[in-house]
């Protein structure tokens, strides 16, 4: 089953478009959680256990594992393997390099770690993204308009254009990514902090492209506008990623139950609007 079908199946089964980000940060862990990779492993597994019926996907960000060196890479694999097989895993590593190198990134993510989708930086162009696109069953989640304040530095730069051509770089990225979608495996990243552009981009790319929408919660993005503007005509394919606001809600031993409560609050709103 390809990434998009697996995603839709999990979303409909759990009645949720929430993707919980699994980004371990020792400075934010509950007081009694051991700061070793063993302690962090148990922490993440407890959160997965209490949220696995509430999500359409999980998204571990590689940086939060790489910070621990070789132990962190092993932890990443352990957590990916722990996630129930029916729930898709999006690895966030924002990869992209010359084709020869991208191929190695693709092998690492899709074959060694066995994730269902990977975030990819399109800055270097098609030959750098193609090695990922060639994995027909895997999602290639292309950065389009990111959630951070400085995304304007490049992504919102006006282009010198003719009639009917994209006016800004992020619009060109969206249009180009559509042209790369021969295997029906292209997805886009559009930040929840950019609700108007999210609506505009959903119209531009149509109903078939999954959009990963990070930035709800800690970065101030709004859930309701993200769902309204990011969903397609069927009310699907807007993947709402929340990391810190689900993971780090309590420093006490009740953290897993509190993570569930926060996830449930988000999911109740998603269900109210879309299911
Ligand atoms: P929280 O702000 O804690 O919910 O985390 C957001 C997660 O999404 C982090 O792992 C970020 O690296 C990631 N992210 C963004 O925050 N903004 C983007 O534009 C793109 C991503 C991403 O690709 O997932």
Query: 257 vs 47, 50, 242, 252, CA distance in Å?
Result: 8, 7, 16, 10
End-to-end Cα separation, the chain, in angstroms:
24
Largest CA distance in the chain: 60
How open is the CA angle 209-272-241, to the nearest 5 degrees?
45
Calculate Rg over the CA atoms of the chain.
18
Q: Given this model, what pLDDT does residue 160 score?
A: 82
Residue closest to 144 by CA, chosen among 116, 110, 162, 168: 168
Residue-wise pLDDT tens digits, 178-229: 999 999 999 999 999 999 999 999 999 999 999 999 999 999 999 999 999 9
Q: What per-residue confidence (pLDDT) applies to 151?
A: 97
Query: In ligand 1, which atom is closest to the CA atom of 146?
Result: 19
- pLDDT given for residue 165 in this prediction: 81
In a 13 Å sphere around the CA of 127, the CA atoms on its Cβ side amount to 4
For 155-167, the pLDDT digits (tens) are 999 998 777 888 8
Q: pLDDT, tens digit, for every residue of 98-134?
A: 999 999 999 999 999 999 999 999 999 999 999 999 9
Per the prediction, the chain carries an average pLDDT of 97
Give the rounded percent of residues in the chain with a pLDDT score beyond 70: 100
CA of 214 to the centre of ligand 1 (A): 5
In this structure, which residue's CA is closest to atom 14 in ligand 1?
214
Q: Which residue has the CA at smallest separation from atom 19 of ligand 1?
A: 146
Contacts of 195 (CB under 8 A, 6+ apart): 221, 222, 225, 226, 229
Among 52, 59, 94, 194, which one carries the catalytic annotation? 94
Calculate how far, in angstroms, residue 242's C-alpha sits from the geometric centre of ligand 1.
8
pTM over 0.95: yes
Ligand 1 atom nearest residue 216's Cα: 4
The pLDDT assigned to 49 comes to 98
Question: What mean pLDDT comes out for the span 52-81?
Answer: 98
Dihedrals phi, psi of 82, to nearest 5 degrees: -75, -30
Q: Are 117 and 93 in contact (CB under 8 A)?
A: no
Structural domains for the chain? 3-274 (3.20.20.70)
| Rounded CA separation 29/74 (Å) | 19
Nearest to 133 by CA among 178, 76, 92: 178
Give residue 145's pLDDT: 98
**Residue 94 appears among annotated catalytic residues:** yes
Q: Assign 14 a pLDDT band (cuts: 50, 70, 90).
A: very high
Side-chain half-sphere of 193: how many Cα atoms within 13 Å? 15
CA 267, 88, 74, 243 dihedral sign is negative
Q: Which residues line ligand 1 (CB under 6 A)?
A: 21, 23, 61, 92, 119, 146-147, 189, 191, 214-215, 217-219, 241-245
């Amino acid at each position: 089953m390809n990434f998009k079908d697996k995603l839709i199946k999990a979303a409909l089964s759990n009645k949720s478009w929430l993707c919980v980000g699994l980004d371990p940060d020792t400075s934010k862990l509950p007081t009694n959680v051991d700061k070793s990779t063993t302690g962090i492993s148990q922490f993440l597994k407890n959160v997965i256990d209490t949220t696995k019926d509430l999500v359409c996907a999980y998204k571990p960000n590689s940086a939060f594992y790489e910070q621990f060196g070789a132990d962190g890479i092993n932890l990443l694999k352990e957590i990916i393997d722990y996630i129930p097989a029916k729930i898709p895993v999006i690895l966030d590593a924002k990869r992209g390099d010359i084709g020869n190198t991208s191929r190695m990134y693709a092998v690492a993510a899709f074959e060694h770690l066995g994730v269902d989708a990977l975030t990819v930086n399109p800055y270097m162009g098609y030959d750098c993204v193609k090695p990922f696109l060639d994995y027909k069953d895997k999602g290639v989640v292309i950065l389009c308009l990111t959630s951070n304040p400085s995304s304007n530095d490049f992504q919102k730069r006006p282009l010198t254009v003719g009639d009917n051509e994209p006016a800004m770089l992020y619009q060109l990225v969206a249009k180009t990514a559509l042209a790369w979608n021969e295997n029906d495996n292209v997805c886009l990243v559009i930040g929840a902090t950019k609700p108007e552009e999210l609506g505009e981009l959903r119209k531009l790319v149509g109903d078939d492209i999954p959009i990963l929408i990070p930035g709800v919660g800690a970065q101030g993005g709004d859930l309701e506008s993200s769902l309204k503007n990011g969903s397609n005509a069927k009310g699907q394919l807007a993947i709402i990623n929340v990391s810190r606001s689900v993971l780090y809600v309590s420093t006490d031993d009740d953290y897993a139950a509190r993570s569930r409560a926060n996830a449930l609050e988000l999911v109740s709103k998603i269900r109210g609007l879309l299911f």
